[in-house]
C-alpha cells in the first residue's frame, strides 16, 4: 500500500518537473468523472480507486496515498487533462477574499461552540 | 479500499463546493499538531515533502542527484462548516528555509494562527516575519503550557512587538472550545481587515 521506498517520486510522475499543476491547490476538491482506468499507470489507477469513493481535497489524496502533495498534483493534472477527474475550483486567490466567504467561515466556527 | 474509507467518513459531502484553508504555525513543539488534531473531524493527516537544502521543492528527484535533501512534514485536518463549505487547517513548520513549501501551502490561505509559548516568545519571530513577507494576515495564540509563566496580554504584545490591530489570545491547544475561540478571533480579524480595506 505504501509507495514510499518502493518507487521514487520521479518515477511516479514520469520525470516531469512541472506539469500544468499550478491550477491545483492543496485544498482543491477533486472528483472522479470516469470509471475507465485502462491504460493508466499503477499510481494513477490507485489514485482513481481512491477518488471513486467520493470527493477529496488534493492534500487528502496525497496523504491517503503516502505521496507528497507536489507529486500528487502532477498526477492529478494529467488526470484532469485526460478527463478522468474534475475539480471544484479552489477558492479564488484574489488579493481579498470576499466578505460572504469570511462570514460563512465565521458563522460555521461559531456554530461549533 | 474506497468502501472502507467511506465508512470512516473520510470523504467530503457531495455538496461541498468551496474549500478554504487557514495555517497553524509556530516553532518546534509549540502545539501545531495538537491544535489541528483537537479541531479536525477526520483523523489528522500528514504528508511529507522533500526539499533541497536550498529550500526548493523536489517533485522530480532526477534534478537533485548528489544534493542533500530534507523531509518536511505537514499535518492537516478538516472541519466541514456547512453542506457546501469546508475548512482545512494546515500545521506548518516555522522555519523560513522551507521557502517553496511555504509558498505552496500559504498560497490562497485566508490567514494564519501563530502559536507562541511565553517561555520562548522569540522563537515565534521567524514565522511572523515570514507571514508578513508573504502578506498573510495572522493572529497570535499563546498556548497555555504547564509551568509557563502567565503574563498579562499587554506584556506579551510588547515582547512580540505586535501591531495594535493584531489579535492576541490565550489558548489551550488540547481544548476544543479554547481552540475554536482562537480561530474565531482570527477570522473576525480577517473580516474586519477586509472591510476596512474594501
Ligand atoms: N499544556 C499544554 N500542552 C500542550 C499544548 N499544546 C500542545 N501541548 C503539548 O506539547 C507537546 C508538543 O505538541 P505538538 O502538537 O506535537 O507540537 P508541534 O508544534 O506539532 O511540534 P512539531 O511538529 O514537532 O514542531 C505535546 O506533548 C502536546 O501534548 C497546550 O496548549 N497546553
Ligand atoms: Mg507537529
- Chain A nearest C-alpha distance from B194 (Å): 7
Q: Which of A60, A66, A71, A88 to mutate to test the interface with B (most CBs of B within 10 A)?
A: A60
B39 occurs within a structural domain: yes
pTM score, whole prediction: 0.89
Question: Which pLDDT score, from 0 to 100, does residue B9 have?
Answer: 81
Q: Considering its fold, how many domains does chain B have in total?
A: 1
Reference A100, options B20, B79, B22, B137; nearest CA is: B20
Q: Considering its fold, how many domains does chain A have in total?
A: 1
Q: What are the tens digits of pLDDT across the range A17-36? A: 444 456 799 999 999 999 99
The mean per-residue pLDDT over the stretch A68-83 comes to 93
CATH code, B37: 3.40.50.300
**Domain limits for position B33:** 14-57+65-197
User: CB neighbours (10 Å) of residue B175?
Assistant: 15
Question: Which pLDDT score, from 0 to 100, does residue B104 have?
Answer: 82
User: CB neighbours (10 Å) of residue A47?
Assistant: 27
Q: Which residue of A has its CA nearest to B13?
A: A55
- Parallel, antiparallel or unpaired: strands B85-93 and B57-58: unpaired
ipTM of the complex: 0.89
CA B143 vs CA A43, A54, B94, B114, B179: distances in Å: 41, 36, 15, 10, 10
Question: Which pLDDT score, from 0 to 100, does residue B8 have?
Answer: 58
Of all protein residues, the one whose alpha carbon is nearest to atom 2 of ligand 1 is: B145
CATH code, A51: 1.10.10.10
Q: Which residues of chain B have pLDDT under 50?
A: 1-4, 6-7, 61-63
- Chain B nearest C-alpha distance from A23 (Å): 11
**Domain limits for position A42:** 21-110
Instruction: Determine if ligand 1 sits within 6 Å of the CB of residue B29.
Output: yes
B187 occurs within a structural domain: yes
Amino acid at each position: 500500500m505504501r509507495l514510499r521506498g518502493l518507487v521514487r517520486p520521479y518515477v511516479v510522475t514520469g520525470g516531469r518537473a512541472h506539469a500544468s499543476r499550478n491550477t491545483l491547490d492543496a485544498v482543491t476538491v477533486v472528483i472522479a468523472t470516469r470509471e475507465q482506468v485502462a491504460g493508466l499507470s499503477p499510481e494513477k489507477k490507485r489514485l482513481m480507486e481512491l477518488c471513486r469513493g467520493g470527493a477529496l481535497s488534493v492534500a487528502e489524496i496525497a496523504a491517503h496515498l503516502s505521496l507528497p502533495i507536489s507529486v500528487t498534483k502532477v498526477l492529478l493534472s494529467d488526470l484532469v487533462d485526460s478527463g478522468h477527474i474534475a475539480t471544484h475550483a479552489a477558492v479564488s486567490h484574489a488579493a481579498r477574499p470576499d466578505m460572504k466567504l469570511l462570514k460563512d467561515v465565521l458563522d460555521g466556527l461559531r456554530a461549533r461552540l | 479500499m474506497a468502501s472502507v474509507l467511506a465508512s470512516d467518513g473520510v470523504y467530503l459531502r457531495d455538496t461541498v463546493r468551496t474549500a478554504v484553508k487557514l495555517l497553524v504555525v509556530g516553532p518546534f513543539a509549540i502545539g501545531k499538531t495538537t491544535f489541528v488534531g483537537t479541531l479536525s473531524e477526520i483523523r489528522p493527516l500528514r504528508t511529507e515533502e522533500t526539499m533541497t537544502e536550498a529550500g526548493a521543492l523536489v517533485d522530480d528527484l532526477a534534478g537533485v542527484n548528489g544534493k542533500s535533501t530534507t523531509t518536511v512534514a505537514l499535518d492537516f485536518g478538516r472541519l466541514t462548516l456547512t453542506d457546501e463549505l469546508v475548512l482545512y487547517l494546515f500545521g506548518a513548520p516555522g522555519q523560513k528555509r522551507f521557502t517553496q513549501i511555504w509558498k505552496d501551502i500559504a498560497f490562497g490561505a485566508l490567514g494564519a494562527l501563530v502559536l507562541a509559548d511565553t517561555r520562548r516568545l522569540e522563537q515565534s519571530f521567524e514565522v511572523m516575519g515570514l507571514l508578513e513577507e508573504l502578506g498573510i494576515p495572522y493572529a497570535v495564540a499563546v498556548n497555555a503550557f504547564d509551568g509557563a509563566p502567565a503574563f498579562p496580554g499587554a506584556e506579551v504584545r510588547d515582547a512580540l512587538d505586535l501591531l495594535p490591530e493584531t489579535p492576541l489570545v490565550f489558548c489551550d491547544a488540547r481544548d476544543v472550545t479554547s481552540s475554536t475561540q482562537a480561530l474565531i478571533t482570527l477570522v473576525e480579524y480577517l473580516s474586519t481587515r477586509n472591510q476596512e480595506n474594501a
